[in-house]
Structure formats: structure tokens, C-alpha cells
Chain A
């Protein structure tokens, strides 16, 4: 079982392959729909250093504010990544992200972006909100909390042994494409349909 510390570098990421099980530790930044729009609309230099060589987690977390002003992630399972398909490759290229974490996989444009810039898609376990929230050890800072609200804000977090699977790598491979193809063949044979 591989461990990966974030931020990381291009060579490490390019060595990952589809099907690798990885445990991530270190800095991750969260972002979903509002964050992606905002990041592509203009270069956000205040956030850029946190994105460089790190990964973005597609999640709308439930976050508790503690009496001392700090925050704790209460539930944090991945959300569907496909919604960020139009923006993801650009966000990766512009900010030097080394990957994204989400669920359901992404499309051709992102796959191409992963190859070009040296990044991967990490698939988290959908629905595992409690296990994954426990991997979030600390909230470092947060951007756009007022404007976007808790689920859509960009939370800079520190994770420990966050379990993910590489399902799209920087070589242009996609586990999603592979499984889709294999299961399509099986479906055809179960339905005795021609090719």
C-alpha cells in the first residue's frame, strides 16, 4: 500500500498507475462548483500557493465551528466530479495541481489535462463520510467562506492516511473507461446482442 505526502512533485505523480491504492497525507484543498467557476474566472493569487503541487478534493463537507474559533470536519465524503469537467483541466494547468479527489471519474478533457500537466484522478469511497472526515486532522485556513457558504468554500485541510484509488493516471489510462468497456461486452453476451 503506497503512501503519498502532499504537496508532491511531477515525477512522483507520473509514476502512479490506474488501480494503485494510495493513502494521502498532507495538504489538500476542497472545492466544488462555485470554487471551480471562481478559480477559472481570474487568477486567484491568494489561493494559488495552496494549490501548487497539491490536490483538490471535490466535497461539500459538514463543518463544525468550535468555541475557540477553529473548525472540525464532521462529514466529508466525495461528491460527483463530472460537474467540474468543463473547468478541471484549466484549473489543473493554471494552478499546478497534481491531482483531484472525487467520485465517479471524469471525462476526456480532464484525462488529457492530466497527461499534459502531470496529474492524476484519485477516487475516494462514495458515501464514506465518517471515515473520511476522521482522516481530516486539521483545518489550516479557508477561502470564500462568507461568499460561498460552508459546502462550497475552499477549505485548506491537513489529511492523514486518506484512502483513495488512482482511477485516471497521467499516462492517459482510465479505469472507468476500462470497466465500462469490459462490462459492455459482458452485457452484450448476457443479452445475446451482436457487436
Chain B
């Protein structure tokens, strides 16, 4: 079974990968977007700079963006593994990664207004642990930047200004409104994680968990798959473009999930992830062997 210290080292590796290596599906989506934009347009120039940046960062194992974001991690573990140990190990990994400049010291105590200096504070990192029947550990991490987190949005339906009722059409309306409100401010082109249902807290958590999905996967639920494809097309028709310069690429993907809701509530939670969709996944065998899952 896993030792806390070796797990910490493995977690640092996962953080390093997330911070410096953009997943191949995201790079591919950015490349395709660049080819689609008008030659010489501002949109194409922006995407070109982004792609050069991804290459430089990846080659040098340097952070893709200086805002290394909030580490959000989901860990699946076999029966009998201590979740307190997992949380401790991951938090320690964040501190070590910060000391090694893989992460920026990115946690501020809002009471004293002091940066804690080591990347950790209550709630940072956020570690979600879930038991499963397999023998391995599986870790999925995203680093979510502040600029894009600031443009996330939550709606309570019905919403008469948007003509949004409590159904998938209402969800569609909220998502398009959120993309419009965000403009380029979340470092467009973005990736949308959406959850309908749940409460105000769980809805946002699920919307973020959707961001772990590969851009080229398909939703197994046909209605949601259709809505994802439609929203991808329509959000791009808004013409906001990379950085809000105008253009054909406003989003790189839309991922939708749902949770049960109370009869009285119907929330739509939209998390906006910037183009720097820093995501890493790994499976860790009981012997400590790592299999990368991106």
C-alpha cells in the first residue's frame, strides 16, 4: 500500500504535468481553431501566440500561465485508504510544487489579507475523495485560474429576462448568457463546465468536475450530447473570439452534467475555464507505478 511520502512525490509530478503540459486534446482544439480563423486576423494572431506559449512552456517544464490557479483534485481510492492521509499528502504536494515554482504562491488569507506563501490555505487545495472497488488510486487534477473563475455564473430558474424555464432549453439560454457576459475576460477561448440541478454549492462542484472530460469525448446521454454540440456551435456564433478580439472561436468545448434537485430549486451553474485548461490524470498502482490518463 501507499506511503504518504511517496504519494506526495507522485502528486508533485501530477501537479508539474498539469501546470506545464497542456493536454493533447486541448492543443489540438487550439490548432484547429487557429486554422479556422481568417488568415492575418487578430483572432488568429492571438491563437498563434497561445500555441507558441504552450510549446515554450511544455518544452521547458515552466508554468503555462503565471496564474497557476486553484488546484482542484478528485481522488478515487480503494477501500481502507485514509482520506485524511490523501488530503495531507496532496496539500503537502501543493506546498512542495510551490517551493519548486511549479505553482505560484497563490493562496491569500482573506482575514489578514496576507499571502500564505506556500500555496495552501483553508479550502486550497480542494481535495475530493471517493471510495471505489478497484485496487488502484486514480487522481484527476485541474488548475483553475482566477480570471476565468471570476466570470463563472449561476442562475436560478425560471428566469424571465432570459425566457428560461426549468428545462434543457432553459439551461441552453443560461449558458449562452454566461458566455456573453464573460466576453473575453476569462481568457477566451474557454471551456464550459455546466451542471443543472444540485444546490448552489454542489452545482458548482459538479460543473467543475465536468472540466475533467476530454474535449473530444461525447456525452453518453443523447439529449445532453445534442445540447453540448448545439451550444458549442451557438457559443461560437456569438463572435466574441479569442481574448474578446472578435472571431470564430469563443469556446473550445461544452461539457454538461446534472445532479438531483429539490422541487423548489432549479440551478444552472456554469464554470468557465480559460484556454489554459490545465488538467492531468493518473492511475497509481499499489506498487506506485503511474499510468498517465490524458
Q: Which residues of A contact B (CB under 8 A)?
A: 19, 21, 60-62, 74-77, 79-80, 103-105, 123, 125-131, 134, 163, 165, 167, 175-176, 178-180, 182-184, 186-187, 190-193
Contacts and interface: CB of A to CB of B under 8 A. Distances in A.
A165 B49 CA distance: 12
25 contacts: A21-B42, A62-B101, A62-B104, A74-B62, A75-B66, A77-B65, A79-B67, A79-B147, A104-B244, A105-B184, A123-B243, A125-B243, A126-B243, A126-B274, A127-B50, A127-B276, A131-B53, A163-B45, A179-B241, A179-B246, A182-B246, A186-B237, A190-B238, A192-B163, A193-B163
A186 B239 contact: yes
B237 A175 contact: no
Given A79-B67, A126-B274, A187-B177, 4 more contacts: A74-B101, A125-B46, A130-B56, A183-B180
A179 B183 contact: yes
Most chain A C-beta atoms within 10 Å of own C-beta, residue among B173, B176, B240, B245: B245
A130 B240 contact: no
B171 to A, nearest CB: 13
Contacts of B177: 187, 191
Interface in B202-221: none
Contacts of B57: 129-130
A104 B52 contact: no
Contacts of B266: none
A75 B63 contact: yes
Interface of B: 42, 45-46, 49-50, 52-53, 56-57, 60, 62-67, 101, 104, 145, 147, 150, 162-163, 173, 176-177, 180, 183-185, 187, 234, 237-241, 243-246, 274-276
Main secondary structure of the interface of B (DSSP, over half): loop
Given A179-B244, A183-B239, A187-B176, A127 B101 contact: no
Given A21-B42, A126-B147, A134 B56 contact: yes
A37 B276 CA distance: 30
A121 to B, nearest CB: 12
Nearest to B46: A125
B176 A130 contact: no
B245 A131 contact: no
Contacts of B275: 127
A167 B50 contact: no
Given A76-B66, A127-B275, A179-B246, A190 B185 contact: no
Contacts of A129: 53, 57, 63-66
A131 B62 CA distance: 11
A30 B42 CA distance: 24
A183 B187 CA distance: 17
A167 B184 CA distance: 12
A127 B274 contact: yes
B179 to A, nearest CB: 8
B42 A61 contact: no
A128 B239 CA distance: 22
Given A62-B66, A76-B66, A77-B65, A191 B176 contact: yes
A75 B56 CA distance: 11
Nearest to B147: A80
B49 A125 contact: yes
Contacts of A125: 46, 49-50, 53, 243
B53 A127 contact: yes
Contacts of A76: 66
A60 B239 contact: no
Contacts of B245: 123, 165, 167, 175, 179
B97 to A, nearest CB: 14
Contacts of B243: 103, 123, 125-126, 165
A182 B183 CA distance: 11
B15 to A, nearest CB: 16
A127 B187 contact: yes
